[in-house]
Chains A and B, each alone.
Chain A
């Protein structure tokens, strides 16, 4: 029977089919499989919650969370805005601070010797524990959350930028020296562009850390924001709202990360893979 089928003349639409099928097959590893797995987990969750009649306050089914997202949408939206804005601002500040600090650390030997150990020390301690101090010093406004967000997210930028600024091939630096280029010229034309791929990998870490910083800040003190909403909902034992807020956070996190990843892609296209 298969042999017969093979001998049959191809239907008119056939030329497109193998192409589409091949694409599906190619995509299956990167898109279909993970998607299938995630859907299976959600279905299993839904099934288990219903089957064992788990109380909603302990664990609501995905369908209940989804319904809560829809019903609380305007509410989620107003709380999503400050969290997103503070994350973005914290991220941008930590990029500026991180790249600047890294530049000074790479160029100033004395500065590096004096400052670098302290910078590393603050990374080795559990930074979250310091969050209340930021509130004590900077108050309950967004300043303290921003500062904490920067504090938590700038280190990966420093490390990545330092590595990047030092990644220039020694022969390239010899050439610059031979041409009597100034250090400012070398930085602008050689070192900084060479560092860009490194900086972007630091950025991808920083953007997720920046959000963690803001949420922790909101847990401690805030009148708005998704972290505040999570805390508020838990005080009301409103588990579906907690999960709805977390789901919203995940989406924001993905969008912000995706934006950085897209920018990275554009940068790498400009950079030209070696």
Chain B
């Protein structure tokens, strides 16, 4: 059995942040208070800290608004890797595995879990390094499959429905003015021409009135 690992997120990373919506009006993002201790499903604590630090360089928290840290991107990635996606349920995995042309797409046997495990090895201790040094390391691996996945997953973790573990408090959606899954824009679609329509975001569970089972909980 795998030893239980936890990731501790400090309150200061999630508390009220100033963000600018796309129409340039500042507003305070409402986020949870207090320390969060999140059980990890795939990563060890060290790995999680490294992934979180790398995601925070890809999508940093800075003057243009919060980033991967506040959205909890690492939690999203941890759950995805623990679930069917990590085990390659969404890929044809029959051998033989042969080298192909770029237009034939990814052809290796390694699944997303393998790619992270291997990709993280040379990054050990990444989270303890200075930002500039971290950027240099990431620049060095920019063209790897691992980095491509990490970048994609960071964006996904920023903007997924919160049921998947990322986009905490819909911080990503608030950042880009995305209102979430709404049933209707019938009145607005031909009225808001050239001006922003930015209703408060809602999550899927709020819209349908019950919890929805995400794919990562499937076998």
Tell me if chain B binds chain A.
no
A interface list, Cβ under 8 A from B: none
B interface list, Cβ under 8 A from A: none
